[in-house]
Amino acid sequence: MKARVFSGVQPSGNLHIGNYLGALKSWVKIQYDYECIYCIVDLHAITVPQEPAELRKKIRETAALFLASGIDPKHSIVMVQSSVPEHAELSWMLTCVTPVGWLQRMTQFKAKSEAQETVGDGLLQYPVLMAADILLYQAAIVPVGDDQSQHLELTRDVAQRFNSLYGETFVVPETHLPTVGARIMGLDDPEAKMSKSAPGSGHAIALLDPPDVIRKKIMRATTDSKPAVEFGALGAGVQNLLGIFQAFSEWSDDQMQSHFDGMRYGDLKKQVAQMVVEKLAPLQQRYREITEEAGYIDGVLAEGAARVEPIARSTVNLVKQRMGLYTQS
Ligand code: TYM
């Protein structure tokens, strides 16, 4: 039997090249080597305020972007978190074995809670729900970008703690990070991670940005006071642009260095923009085709939920038995 893979994306804001290079691109690459479940995590999205009509739209848009990126729904499972109630059910059970101190230490919790006037309890529980997503399917591998590493460590800790309290129950998952593109930074601020929620039109390249917008954003990207690329002393902005090019092109380090060393920043930016435009064109074309077909996405999502439901039910039943909760004998 093939090992199982699970990963997810929040349907909040516009998916950007960081999401693609950090996660979706690896998902596509490994999909025939494993049994893959790719999830639109709408329950995670509501840990901060969302406009309901907008959220509803973004869930389908995110699913369409999974498929447009190359996820094959005949093979991989594409599903929405809230359509399988066992995610929330297992999350509660895991909450009861997770020390609150582990959650308060999470850097994303600290950053996100600082930005909110009132902090919903969901924001604190967020990583437990994420652990539930993964453990529910006994996933062995979780392909994510670098910003999720701490949450994955917590998932492993929760699985190990549960296993030691109640006996071997969960597979302890491995984190799978891409070698290049695990952490794409903002174009306007190369010290900050590229993020769906960051304001500013020059910050992120959305997967559906038209070519002229992509070019404009890259030409305006922050670099430094030097005129040209110097591989021995790369500033954060230039390093980020080179990282974007390398992740899309899959060039080796040697190829990158011999091609770009000494190149003036203006030319570097033109070449990065051209690479991004070329690589996103087929994705954008597929997106248009997928979304033209009424009802197609809903069909894929319904089938995905039906395919995972038996796995989810069997894990929750096992956990209920282990913890002594009521089950009909
Ligand atoms: P989310 O929606 O913030 O991001 C989705 C994926 O994109 C990656 N990513 C990045 N990679 C490189 N550079 C960036 N600037 C960048 N920004 C985002 C993320 O690492 C992620 O892989 N909590 C998760 C969603 C989630 C999940 C899960 C993931 C919920 N349950 C279970 C894996 C397994 C999140 O908010 O991702």
Could you state, in order of their start, the residue ranges of all structural domains in the chain?
4-181+294-323, 211-290
Percent of the chain at pLDDT > 90 equals 93
**Topology (CATH) of 4-181+294-323:** Rossmann fold (3.40.50)
For ligand 1, mutation pick of 4, 5, 6, 9 (most atoms within 8 Å of CB): 9
Stretch among 12-26, 65-79, 188-202 having the lowest mean pLDDT: 188-202
Instruction: Check residue 117 and give its pLDDT.
Output: 85
Q: What is the mean pLDDT of the chain?
A: 96
* Average pLDDT score over residue span 39-47: 97
How many of the other CB atoms lie within 10 Å of CB of 53? Answer: 8
Statement: residue 147 has pLDDT above 90: yes
Sheet holding 4-9, edge to edge: 77-80, 35-40, 4-9, 141-143, 174-176
Cα–Cα separations (whole angstroms), residue 96 to 8, 41, 126, 154, 265: 23, 22, 14, 14, 53
CA dihedral 5, 11, 13, 18 (to 10 degrees): 10
Pick the CATH number of 211-290 from 3.50.50.60, 1.10.240.10, 3.30.565.10, 1.25.40.10: 1.10.240.10
pLDDT in tens, 256-310: 999 999 999 999 999 999 999 999 999 999 999 999 998 999 999 999 999 999 9
How far is the centre of ligand 1, averaged over its atoms, from the C-alpha of 230 (Å)? 31
Statement: residue 329 has pLDDT above 80: no
- Residues 68 and 284: their CA atoms lie apart, in Å, by 7
Q: Coil, helix or strand for 148?
A: helix
Q: Is 58 a residue of the active site?
A: no
Q: Is 155 in the pocket of ligand 1 (CB under 6 A)?
A: no
pLDDT in tens, 165-189: 999 999 999 999 999 999 999 999 9
Look up tokens 């893959």; give the residue. Answer: 36
pLDDT in tens, 124-142: 999 999 999 999 999 999 9
Q: Is 226 a residue of the active site?
A: no
Which residues, 6 or more positions from 11, have their beta carbon under 8 angstroms from its beta carbon? Answer: 40, 41, 42, 45, 55, 58, 59, 61, 62
Instruction: Check residue 122 and give its pLDDT.
Output: 95
